[in-house]
Amino acid sequence: MPKRTRQKEAILRVLKSTTSHPTADWIYSDVRKEIPNISLGTVYRNLKLLWQSGEISEMDFSGTFSRFDGNPDNHYHFRCERCGRVFDVDEPVNKETDDRVAQKTGFKIFYHRLEFRGLCRECQESREVRTK
Ligand SMILES: [Zn+2]
Ligand SMILES: [Zn+2]
């Protein structure tokens, strides 16, 4: 089905072109510029397929609405508590933690996720302006 492939490719392209870890709604509105008749359900379905095939990763930090990541490799994130933006953190993933926890608990660990929280650079600056 060439149409489905085109939709999937458009979604993947949108995700790979941004580092903002967008929600499905955001991806939907961006993909619609290219494919105006695409539905949100189709976007969700293709995101799931892309996630299942390991081409993207899904982030469940916020609970109510999930964000998606064009980078399928395990990496750490920073989330700004003020503006809610998510950034990639260039820090090596510590696989020894997985081994240590696996030994301690007997669980089979595939990977772990780490999220740093605080204020992004822009929010730190705007806070300074406000307090003056
Ligand atoms: Zn911020
Ligand atoms: Zn990321």
Instruction: Supply the pLDDT for residue 35.
Output: 95
* Six-digit token string for 52: 């299942």
Q: Which residues contact 96 (CB under 8 A, 6 or more apart)?
A: none
pLDDT band of residue 123 (cuts 50, 70, 90) is very high
Whose atoms come closest to the Cα of 83: which ligand? 1
* Six-digit token string for 90: 């260039």
Question: Do both 53 and 10 map to the same domain?
Answer: yes
Question: Do both 30 and 95 map to the same domain?
Answer: no
Instruction: Give dist(CA 76, CA 88) in Å, integer.
Output: 6
Percent of the chain with pLDDT over 90: 74
Q: How far apart are the CA of 63 and the centre of ligand 1, in A?
A: 19
Instruction: Give dist(CA 118, CA 121) in Å, integer.
Output: 10
End residue of a domain, out of 73, 94, 110: 73
Question: Do both 23 and 12 map to the same domain?
Answer: yes
* Six-digit token string for 98: 């997985």
23 pLDDT more than 80: yes
Question: Do both 83 and 64 map to the same domain?
Answer: no
Give the domain range for residue 91: 76-132
Question: Do both 120 and 86 map to the same domain?
Answer: yes
Q: How many domains does the chain have?
A: 2
CATH code of residue 85: 3.30.1490.190
- pTM for the model: 0.77
* Six-digit token string for 62: 């916020």
Q: How far apart are the CA of 107 and the centre of ligand 2, in A?
A: 25
pLDDT band of residue 60 (cuts 50, 70, 90) is low
